[in-house]
Structure 1
């Protein structure tokens, strides 16, 4: 890295009120093109093909997914042995019910985002499926499934109280499930009242205060221009995620900042167009999802990998490592903006930032 680039990055970190943790990292030397293999492996989207992923799988890390529930008997969650993967289930739409009902995830939204985070198809035995190697970003991570709304994640205004109950419960029970990351592919419209948005943002801030990295979808109203970030992605402490297509180009729907209180968002972007994942309907059922709902679990899974490598990272340290190792495909590389944030997440660069500096000896 050129010295001038390094100094410029550090200067931005010091001056920005959005960054509370200073870390020196090399800017990614090149942008890893996103790609889809026939046998879907989510890690390939983030430049984490072997051996670049260092064998990290999210082992012993739990991600809480606050969504529409989960089709727990899908093969990527272990089929009939799903309790080895999904270590907790709570339905906050039915007063904290702990047993998944038969119709647990009517539209598969929670199922597909969970599979992008932690799906593991390595033990599948379906001879008729071409997706035997399906894998999420952190296939050995655990899931805490928390159902906080029924149908669409587009606007959860009517479920704000339910979300609050779930978040309060999570803060007090996180250690029982070793939760370090919360993934939320949900939000209220950018047109919602400032009171509602600020209320939700405060809930997210309280989660991060409890050392839970909270990864939130930026929203899908980007076609309407600037200022379309949803809440709680607008929370200053949230790691807000926009979407790019498989060529690294911004998805037209990806919401843009600034927030209602003029914070630059999103923080980063990840793949969010035509993403394959597990859906309800059968043990080996798959479908596609587009939206920032799809890009969010990529980042949540990456956080699980980083925590496996260095478990004592704080939520804010995680946020800044992921952000500052991202790669901007538009505009200046060292400036965060309201379209792409810090850029497209780069899995290898984030993991490599945790490695000790290489010592160079000379004769």
Structure 2
């Protein structure tokens, strides 16, 4: 009987080693890095190099491709399928039996193997009681005058219409959209301006490994419509003049960590082409195999493969906009990944009255950073479906791209900003910047305020105009005046009550605000010219 029991244990053990697993195999070096770094156009397009140069971002070894001979040897290894690759991580996403994957550790250039199944990693979580593959339950986090129609509220909420009126509509900026499919974009009327004007540059379908991106699913179609769609009197996107790359990274037929690897591949391709903004209305936490799933304590900003990719994209000078997720009413209401990424501008959802939409995933990140960063309309947002019919739909899937389009439009107004500055101005313009919450983060951005703040900084640098700085401020605000300019500053609270007034001049130009409560105040500078604006006391 004992002999039989021993044989049974061997059978169970061998079954475990024959089970198919996903893993990332990391390489120790890039032996030809010097050659690539000496020839940048072998790694990136000129537009990508120009974006880096404009933001003083140097090239480094993460820009160098994976050594091809390493890829070839893994490809030829017994039983191994390569699912995806990442030069940023110097890694391949592979699939095979535990035995075949472990055999790769004998290759001299392999530094680490990390399994998607957490229990297989040193110090990893204990495996779920059942490793049975669950049925798929896919949840996608989901002076010109424009006749906005139904999209008016979602744009005016952000004061985006004021930028549009100044003819800032995203021109000169490129947005990479990472999503599940773009059915109908090439045929539906709301996208014909993009097609006619060659604003859809290209794209790629990562799950199918082909260039057919007008396929698979409708989610990306609706997402794109909030940025680039146009139907006079019904729908105007937040960045109708931007150009777009369309990348399918999501496989709606299953939920597997390979989608995080597709996501990183797409982000790398966006960087290669020189994109300025990434929009991702996708999030990952629960996988079909529960042993692969993430938990809230994984949401620390740089642990998951996707969050590492988002951070890397941001470090390359790309504004990375990620939807917070739609888990607000579930047992685990917190953000997923890559919404947790340190470098991600994470977007929650509100309704038409700017109230928190209860489905929107909440913060903070597990390491207690403010998440979501800001919010936009996500309840009953105006979008286009695949046939071109203008409808309403709900989800952070739509608050994210509405905000991403505005980020590109704002950046088009002041194109010499860095990605970090763009994100900072957006956060600082939001109405809860001084008092963020777990539901709305810093709140609703005001893109006109962001533009005014950015222009004020430029004016200070140019030494030729009125401006207020710093903004936000803690103890003191100063007014930059032209030579010999003087007048009276009146400060008002949000109820319109005058709480402070002071005469200032170019020699005496500061006001002490340290005794004021945190929040938003409005100023009026009355002189030969009047100037009005908003300051934030933090």
Q: TM-score, normalised by structure 2?
A: 0.52
Determine which of 330, 337, 342 is the counterpart of 2:437: 337
Structure 2 residue aligned with 1:310: 414
- Residues 328 and 362 of structure 2 are in contact (CA less than 8 Å); yes or no, is this contact kept in structure 1? yes
Structure 1 residue aligned with 2:448: 348
Distance in 2 (alpha carbons) for counterparts of 1:201 and 1:167: 11
Q: Does 1:258 align with 2:364?
A: yes
Shift of 1:141: 1.0
Structure 2 residue aligned with 1:322: 426
Structure 1 residue aligned with 2:175: 63
- Residues 197 and 232 of structure 1 are in contact (CA less than 8 Å); yes or no, is this contact kept in structure 2? no
Distance in 2 (alpha carbons) for counterparts of 1:93 and 1:52: 37
SS where residue 354 of structure 1 aligns? helix
Q: Does 1:187 align with 2:283?
A: yes
Q: Does 1:48 align with 2:160?
A: yes
Distance in 2 (alpha carbons) for counterparts of 1:49 and 1:169: 31
Q: Which has the larger radius of gyration?
A: 2
Structure 2 residue aligned with 1:112: 222
SS where residue 160 of structure 2 aligns? coil
SS where residue 264 of structure 2 aligns? helix
Between structures 1 and 2, the one with greater strand share: 2
Structure 1 residue aligned with 2:81: none
Q: TM-score, normalised by structure 1?
A: 0.76
Distance 1:93 1:47, change over 3 A: same
Structure 2 residue aligned with 1:92: 206
Distance 1:308 1:252, change over 3 A: same
SS where residue 321 of structure 2 aligns? strand
- Residues 269 and 341 of structure 1 are in contact (CA less than 8 Å); yes or no, is this contact kept in structure 2? yes
- Residues 119 and 134 of structure 1 are in contact (CA less than 8 Å); yes or no, is this contact kept in structure 2? yes
Question: RMSD of aligned C-alpha atoms?
Answer: 2.7
SS where residue 329 of structure 2 aligns? helix
Shift of 1:169: 2.5
Shift of 1:218: 0.8
CA offsets, 1:90-145, max 9 Å, x none?
111111x22445xx142x210111111121235xxxxxxxxx45210111111111
Distance 1:263 1:204, change over 3 A: same
* Unmatched runs of 5 consecutive residues or more in structure 1: 1-35, 123-131
Shift of 1:318: 0.9
Structure 2 residue aligned with 1:128: none
Structure 1 residue aligned with 2:338: 232
- Residues 78 and 84 of structure 1 are in contact (CA less than 8 Å); yes or no, is this contact kept in structure 2? no
Determine which of 161, 184, 190 is the counterpart of 1:76: 190
SS where residue 232 of structure 1 aligns? coil
* Unmatched runs of 5 consecutive residues or more in structure 2: 1-146, 287-292, 460-464, 467-480, 487-527, 529-538
Distance in 2 (alpha carbons) for counterparts of 1:53 and 1:79: 19
Structure 1 residue aligned with 2:373: 267
Distance in 1 (alpha carbons) for counterparts of 2:149 and 2:253: 29
Distance 1:268 1:40, change over 3 A: closer
Aligned residues: 304
Structure 1 residue aligned with 2:20: none
Distance 1:86 1:51, change over 3 A: closer
- Residues 269 and 344 of structure 1 are in contact (CA less than 8 Å); yes or no, is this contact kept in structure 2? yes
- Residues 227 and 256 of structure 1 are in contact (CA less than 8 Å); yes or no, is this contact kept in structure 2? yes
Shift of 1:198: 2.4
Moved more, 48-57 or 345-354: 48-57
SS where residue 353 of structure 1 aligns? helix
Which one scores higher on RCO, CA 8 angstroms, separation ≥ 6? Answer: 1
- Residues 223 and 253 of structure 1 are in contact (CA less than 8 Å); yes or no, is this contact kept in structure 2? yes
Shift of 1:354: 2.1
